[in-house]
Amino acid sequence: MWMVNQQAMCRMHLLGEHCECHMFLGSLRKQKSMEGYITNNLFEPKLLKERHDSLAVEMQSRGYKHKTPLDFSSDVFNYLTIEQLNYKVDYQSSFQDLINRCSVCRSNFINRFTKLFNTRSKD
Ligand SMILES: [Zn+2]
Ligand SMILES: [Zn+2]
């Protein structure tokens, strides 16, 4: 979960993060360990649904198909520790990582640098 402003993400990273949201839910349903994702700043349990839905809205606004609602009850989080459940992605670090990796995202963000984050920019 990059957790950056989805409006500035390139197609590949937008679709990739959307796909990851579904994979995270799959892992949660199987009660797989999420520790590695959290250690690597990739997963914020409490925003999974909200983030998926923001990505889906952006996909649809670009004319990409989205047919995969992410519906689940919060029971899927029951096996996580409190620390895992409350983990928040470090958005600054995630943003740096994304723009270092992807020149398309980087130039998109430079063109819209006034709005890097769509949620909770200070926390
Ligand atoms: Zn979806
Ligand atoms: Zn990109």
- Expressed in angstroms and rounded, the spacing between residue 61 Cα and the centre of ligand 1 is 14
Distance between CA 95 and CA 92 in Å, rounded?
5
- Expressed in angstroms and rounded, the spacing between residue 22 Cα and the centre of ligand 1 is 6
| pTM across the whole model | 0.88
Q: Are 1 and 47 in contact (CB under 8 A)?
A: yes
Residues of the chain with pLDDT > 90, as a percent, come to 87
Question: What pLDDT, in 10s, does the model give residues 28-75?
Answer: 999 999 999 999 999 999 999 999 999 999 999 999 999 999 999 999
Ligand nearest to the CA of 102: 2
- Expressed in angstroms and rounded, the spacing between residue 123 Cα and the centre of ligand 2 is 25
